[in-house]
Structures are given as structure tokens and as C-alpha cells.
Amino acid sequence: MTMTHRCGWVALMGPPNAGKSTLTNALVGQKVAIVTAKPQTTRNRIVGILTRKDAQVIFMDTPGVHALRGQTRGQLGKIMVQSAWQSFAAAQCIVLVIDGDLYLRKPEFMERDLAPLIQPLAEEERPVIVVVNKVDLFHDKSRMLPLLEQVSSLFPKAEIFPASALHRNGTSQLIELICSYLPEGEAQFPEEQLSTAPLKFMAAEIIREKLFERLYQEVPYSVAVDVEAWDEEEDRVIIHAVIYVARPSHKAMVIGRRGEGIKAIGTSARKEIKELVEKKVHLELWVKVREDWVDDPQFLHSLGFGVESDF
């Protein structure tokens, strides 16, 4: 008796800061998407691949879908939202990730935050799973049932699944559920491949993650990273990367007093990139001011935004 093999694309959708990237990493079993505590960390669709003997699941971690106008920034914001909906259109299964802890404390926010997704998912014929994330933060477990009932009333056709992506609680059961919904088919990627992203892109993302962790207020959202040179030698990789900022004042914040900021970012990023490439890393960082880069379509395209070539 031959074993049935399943393969399919799964879109992880939801509002910003719901834990989509954390869940993607937990489901794949390794870090393929950067994670910070700030909303809008994910700007491109990130593809993470889980390969098992009986299935290959291709997860698409998407930028957050905003309910409020004005929350997306210029041309970049439009591209981010477009990327999320392109992933939605391509998926065989849709996983909506919501911040259960937030809606337990503020249930009145749920319908507002999820407004752009309620009607599309209500009309959806494909399998839909709503992951109520961050249940590890629930102090009063007795309030979980009313919350799950509220979620179920908004998404009556969906399977509701409480989980904690951070602690990987429920993720193995979630994988089984997702696999059961995927169509039969052969694997689309080699067994050892974890992502479709090139190493250059992943290195740029790691640098941006360290920027997000270190910077405050609006500054992280005004930075972009471009790896301009990548030279591989037998025992090391030499990387030259440019950090673009929108204002001269932001440049000073990134560099920090006596260069301490840029040095700390470089040290932290170098350590993680070394693990990624499994070689020594020589990382050079420069900071350049490029005003209004978020509204420059050509520049955004050169950074890889709006390029959807994985399918």
C-alpha cells in the first residue's frame, strides 16, 4: 500500500503583531522569518518549507493586513498589502492568525481589526483555520470560551485552533490539521530547502531585525537594508550592506554616539548571519539618507519589494 503524499501552499494572514512570523518559524522548525515586538516587521512574503515523509507544506508568512486607513506607509504600504492578498489568492489553505491575548483583554477591538478579512473568509470555499495565538498569556482561562465563541461567530466556516506560537504549544497538532487539508501531490522543493529566499535577502532581513530591535518610535519603519556586495571565499563571506534612512536625524540615531549603535547592530547581525551561512562573516555597514524611499517604486523594486516569483 503506497502512502498518500500531500503538498500545498498555506497563507498565514492576519493583523500586524498577531504572531504570524513566530508561528511560521515554529511550524517550519527553524528561523526563516525575522521577528520583533514591533508591528509591520514583515514587509515581503516569506516562504518557509516544512518537508515530511508524507507531506510538504509551503507556508507563506505575509505582511499584516490593516483595518485602519493611514496605517500603511506610502507605496511600500500598498505593496505590503498587495503581497498579503497575492499569497491569499495562491493558497490551498488559509491560516488566519489573531492575537488572542489582545482580544481577551479588549474584545471590542476584534471586529474592527479583522474587518478586511471577515467577508473574504466567510465566502471562502478553501479550508480556513483561525489560530487564536498567545494563549500562554491568558491569566483567566475561564474567559477563553467566550472569546472562542466570538471568533467562531465571525468565522462560522473556519476551524478554531488555540495555540502559542512562542512556546510551540499546539503546533504539532496544527501541522497535522493543515496537512489533512492539503491536496495530494509531489513535493515542489528539495527536502533540505527551508525557504525560497536567497541568502542575500535573509542576511538583509537579519540586519533589519537588529535595527528594529534597537530603534524607537517611527524610525524602524523608515529604514531599509540593501546588500550591495556578497563575496564568498573558502572560509568566510564578505558582506557590504547599506542601511537606508529617510532623514538625516535618523542616520544619527542608527549610528549612535561614537558609532556605538551601528557597531552593536553589526555585531548582533554578524553572529546570526554566521549561523546562517556556516562560515566566518566580515560585515561592513554604511548608513545613507534617501528621503521618501517608501514612495519610490523603482527603488522599492530594486530592494525586492513587489517581486512575486515563488509560485
Residue 70 has pLDDT above 70, yes or no: no
Rounded CA-CA distance 24/21 in Å is 5
- pLDDT tens digits, residue range 246-280? 999 999 999 999 999 999 999 999 999 999 999 99
In the predicted model, what is the mean pLDDT of the chain?
91
The span from the first CA to the last CA of the chain, in angstroms, equals 32
**Cβ atoms of 210 and 269 closer than 8 Å:** yes
pLDDT band at 310 (very low <50, low <70, confident <90, very high): low
Alpha-carbon distances, residue 272 vs 103, 179, 205, 266 (angstroms): 34, 31, 11, 10
pLDDT band at 69 (very low <50, low <70, confident <90, very high): very low
All domains in the chain, ordered by first residue: 6-181 (3.40.50.300), 199-302 (3.30.300.20)
Residue 68 has pLDDT above 60, yes or no: no
- pLDDT tens digits, residue range 271-299? 999 999 999 999 999 999 999 898 898 89
Q: Provide the greatest CA pair distance for the chain.
A: 68
Residue 35 has a pLDDT of 87
Rounded CA-CA distance 296/79 in Å is 11
pLDDT band at 91 (very low <50, low <70, confident <90, very high): very high
Residue 67 has a pLDDT of 64
Residue 31: partners with Cβ closer than 8 Å, 6 or more residues away: 25
Q: In the numeric block, which cell numbers belong to residue 142?
A: 475561564
Residue 189 has pLDDT above 60, yes or no: yes
Residue 220 has a pLDDT of 73
Residue 234 has pLDDT above 70, yes or no: yes
Partnered with residue 8 across adjacent β-strands are: 57
